[in-house]
Amino acid sequence: MTGPTSRPPRRSALLRATTVVAAVVPLCTAGWFGWRALDDSGPAGASAAASPGAVVSTSQAPGTPMAPPAGSTPTGATPTGTPTETSTPTAETPTPETPTAAPPADLTGRTIVLDPGHNPGNFAHPTEINRQVDIGNAHKECDTTGTETDAGYTEADYTLDVTRRARALLTARGAKVVFTQDGDRPWGPCVDERARAGADAHADVAVSVHGDGGPASGSGFHVIMPARVVAGKADNSAIVEPSHRLGLLLRDRFHAATGEPYADYVADEGLDTRSDLGGLNLSAVPKVFIECGNMRNSADARRMTDPQWRQQAAQGIADALTAFLTTH
């Protein structure tokens, strides 16, 4: 704010011109340096380490390797052509908004399921992942391979990296974090098993993390919330309302942390409500999906392959879950 208005003493024209030039030059210079400093596919078709002892996996096939170190990719999982990561944001990277306030950080006694979409090994198991499973109102594939960027960075590798980073943040706040898979099984799990993970873990909440394979001309992120489904083995009536509250929090916190715009190919301000996803139809705990960006779009792909941006994505997810668990 400025102080009370007052009339300054008169100055000569030469003195006023000199003052204007002296004021404008530093401002332009500062502005130039500021600019230099910025910089089911998805469920429809479709790394930071946790504290020691914090990893809990819902299942692991006998004889399969344990999860790789944080930030690494399971051996043989990533197709040839995966780009070398760089921590330098590009000029296209949106400027994250400054969060208004950090959410409360005590999640002691709370349990969260994180569901990294797809699995790096799904490519080698087409028979298993194409098996049809009952999602209540339909039958769908057990799982899919997911999408990837033009350079070959897969959705499955992206989701594992971001969820591991989110796990580290959440366990530091006292939460118990359960993964549906942590690169520790050869394929899957199926969507119905992923949905059961929340109930099996007696979790308070669950989030499934994805990268979308939308039209190449489209960009941005969106959150998918459950429609009410009461059909066959599905009855998610009890979770629809809290899941929608979680979806709004996740949209707002993810946008604040990353600066990523709402998807311009989804109609409702970064929100979508669906009844065709087994992971939502069959869940017994509040759950949403997040499509963190469109991996088929070149600008989104540049952001999603940047580890610094992926840390911001994990921050937005962790902050939304924290807000959900501490404000009701």
Catalogue the active-site residues.
291
CB 225 within 8 A of CB 245: no
Please state, in angstroms and rounded to a whole number, the distance separating the CA atoms of residues 126 and 148: 17
Please state, in angstroms and rounded to a whole number, the distance separating the CA atoms of residues 319 and 175: 12
End-to-end, the C-alpha distance of the chain in Å comes to 37
Backbone φ and ψ for 230, nearest 5 degrees, come out as: -125, 95
Crossing angle between the packed helical segments 307-326 and 155-172, to the nearest 10 degrees = 50
Six-digit token string for 87: 């921590």
| Number of Cβ atoms within 10 Å of the Cβ of 241 | 11
| Number of Cβ atoms within 10 Å of the Cβ of 131 | 12
Six-digit token string for 163: 């969820």
Please name the residue that has the structure tokens 């989701």: 159
- For residue 207, which of 103, 134, 279, 259 has the smallest C-alpha distance? 279
